[in-house]
Structures are given as C-alpha cells and as structure tokens.
Amino acid sequence: MAAPLKKVVDNDRLVDDDREGQRFRVSRTAFVSKEILALERANIFDKVWLYLGHESELAKPGDFLTRSVGGRTLLFTRDNKSKFHALMNTCPHRGARVCRERSGNAKSFQCFYHGWVFGLDGALRDMPGKESYPPGFAERSTSSLQPAPKFDSYRSFCFVSFNPNVESLPEYLGNAREYMDIVADQSEAGMTVVGGTQEYSIRANWKLLAENSYDGYHAATNHATYLEYLKGTTGGLVPIQLTGSGRDLGKGHGVVEYRAPWGRPVAQWIPAWGDDGKKRVEAIYDNLMSRHGKERADRIALYNRNLHVFPNLVINDIMALTVRTFYPSEPDFMTVNAWALAPVQEDPGDRSARLFNFLEFLGPGGFATPDDIEALEQCQDGYSNLAEVGWNDISKGLTKETPSFDDEAQMRGYWTEWNRRIYGA
C-alpha cells in the first residue's frame, strides 16, 4: 500500500473537486497518512488561529490555566490589572515546564528546576544567584517567559497563533463572527464556562470529527434513539424532525442552522419543564425581544447552530451550548476537550435544565457522543480497505442553490480550504 499512497500524495490528488462532473471526493489517504499529518502540523496548526480558552475561565486577577494547543504547552493568565496573556510554558533558562498545575490562582510562577520566578505577565522577577549574571540580564526579553507569537480575543473567545505574520483574528474569523455574535448576544451579562474541562480521546482521524460536528445527514440514523426519546420530553406534540440549511462561510469555516423540537433554555420551552419553566423561558424571550427585536430574538431562541471554525473549533449552540476542540497525536488518534457555556447569572432552574441537556446529549456519556465516537472509529477502521476503496464522497447537495442542513456544502468548503492550506491549491 506504500507505493499507491506515495503516488497520491505526490500528485496532490487528495481532493477531487469536479463541479462539471457534479462530484466532490476526498482521498482516504488524508485520514491515514503520517506524511499528511506532518503537512497539517506545518501548514495548518503552525499557521492559523487556534482556540485557547474563554475569558470567563480566568474570572479574577491571578487566575491561570495551562493548556495544550497545537502541540505546544501554554500558560493562560490574567494579571493584576486584569490583562490576559498567552505565554509559552517553558523556562527560558533550561526549558523546563514552569507551571505544572492545571489551573489556580497565583501571584507568580517559580520554575522548580532552578528557581527562576516569573510574573503573571511572564516577566522574570527574580532568580537565585542573580549576582553571577551580567548586568541587565533580567531585563533582556529572552530572560522572560515568551509570549505566544500572536494572541487576541473575539467576544471573550481567546485565540493564539504561532505564526507572527498571521492575518488579524477578525479577518480570519470572517463570516463565522455572525454566529459567534449570536452566542455572545444571548446574555447582557456575558457568557461563562460552567464547570471544568471534559477530556476524552477518539481512535480516529481528527478531520472526521470536524466533518461530523456539522453533518446533519447522520442525525436521523446515528441518533435515532435520542430522537425517539425526545417524544417523551416534548409531550408527543412536536414532530421529531429537523429543518434548516447548511452554509459554507469561507476560509474553511461552516455552519448548519436549523429548527429542532428539543428544549433550549434560551428560549424554547418544552412540556417537561412545567409551568414554572415556561414562565422563565417567556421572560428570557421578552428580554431578547427588547434587546434585539423579534427577528433576531427568534433566531437566537428558536434556531440551533453547529458552527465549525477552521481548523478545529466547534461551537454547538443547540439544546445546550458546548465549545469543543480536538488535536491529532497520530493519523488515527485524537484528544478532545469540551466545555459547557452558559449565560452569566442564569436562573438556577434554567442552568439545571441546560446542564442536564449538556450531559444528556453532548457529554461523553450522553446520547450523541458515544454514537459519534463509534461511527468515527468505524470509519477509521474501514480505511484499512484504502487500496480497494480509496475515496469519500462529499457530493450531497452539490447542485442545490440553497443547501439543506443535511447536505454537505459546509464540508466542501472545509476541504477546499484544507487543500489550499496543504498544497496551496
């Protein structure tokens, strides 16, 4: 199998975009090749904006967390002036990881190896034996923790890039900002991450999860058990069907936006929440109306969104809000991090319903995630037949002017950008 794989890579034939022939395919080599993973690391993860975290995770000055992003270990801090920093978590002296705690609150960080002390802004504050160093050594920029080459935020979503020449974050996000705004506008007081990080792994290629995150086509079959279960929560009054559209947002970003019968704490009521829940939801909707007008209030309250920001950020604004990232360690193995997002100062009853929805469907033990993991791992297993069956077909909705939410326009946009990044095609 090595020779055919090498030929495919050499010929740049991993994406077969044949619009005249009404065909769009992706070579399965893209999911199994170590050479391709190396190109992805160099041409994508080292070059674009990557999600680091949400500002709410650092609620007060001195808060910090450590996180692995794009193969680097980072220290995300909020200093005593409430300024946020993204620092490379490696000592400039001999390279040891400076902060070994996952999160906490601190006034400074001390490297355990030789005792160098750094401020929340990364500046070198003190070190043993400093009299033996040249004058002005502590003031050298190379003596402090190095910042990530680029750091910025949009509506409290924080990103880093390891490419000093990357385009601005707003420019990079492009049309995806419209959907991030819808999430951020759900609360006057802002949005907050609730609880900690959910972590799990999948024995499949990372791009399979990117596709799956806004693939409306698989819902009716892969999540049939959940859709059947919904009949009980909706009182059997609402047809169990999903309707909406898919959209290629450009730059590899994409979204599906659709109506669904499940309850949304902002702000779609279901009988399972009772009369008290109905009153709370009506109050939320009235507030949305007063702030945004009916058209936008209806969009925020009644429509769901699965947004994918290239290459590996997913924001699922559905029966609950979840933020998810995923990184490959091997062509057939990825690690996933997920966080629940909610309005600040949310009513306890609404927060309880939201977290129940999050765990029930989106969590690692919910209805959806185990189904999806099984599907992705079965796909990866099926790629053992690469030599005989070498392509994934992503042509659904190719001839439509307005693609449905269960078509694949958003995936074709993703793969077009992926191909451009990998090969400059």
- pTM comes to 0.93
pLDDT tens digit string along 108-146?
A: 999 999 999 999 999 999 999 999 999 999 999 999 999
The residues facing 87 across adjacent strands are: 75, 147
- Assess whether pLDDT exceeds 50 at residue 7: no
Residue 267 is which amino acid?
A
- pLDDT tens-digit readout, 28-73: 999 999 999 999 999 999 999 999 999 999 999 999 999 999 999 9
pLDDT at 231 over 70: no
What is the rounded distance in angstroms from the CA atom of residue 194 to the CA atom of residue 190?
13
Indicate if the alpha-carbon torsion angle 406, 52, 340, 269 is positive or negative. Answer: negative
3-state secondary structure of 417: helix
Token look-up 């702000």 returns 267
Report the distance separating Cα 320 and Cα 163, nearest Å.
Answer: 33
List the single range of 6-10, 128-132, 210-214, 421-425 with lowest mean pLDDT: 6-10
Res. 6 pLDDT band, cuts 50 70 90 = very low
Residue 209 has pLDDT above 60, yes or no: yes
Over the chain, what is the mean pLDDT?
91
Contact 99, 109 (CB under 8 A): yes
**CA distances (Å), 410 to each of 275, 317, 394, 416, in order?**
39, 17, 10, 10
Confidence of residue 168 (pLDDT cuts 50, 70, 90): very high
In order of their start, the domains of the chain are 50-165 (2.102.10.10), 175-423 (3.90.380.10)
- Residue pLDDT, tens place only, 354-408: 888 888 887 788 778 889 999 999 999 999 999 999 999 999 999 998 999 899 9
What pLDDT is attached to residue 12? 54
Residue 333 has pLDDT above 50, yes or no: yes
Angle (CA) 325-216-305 rounded to 5° is 60
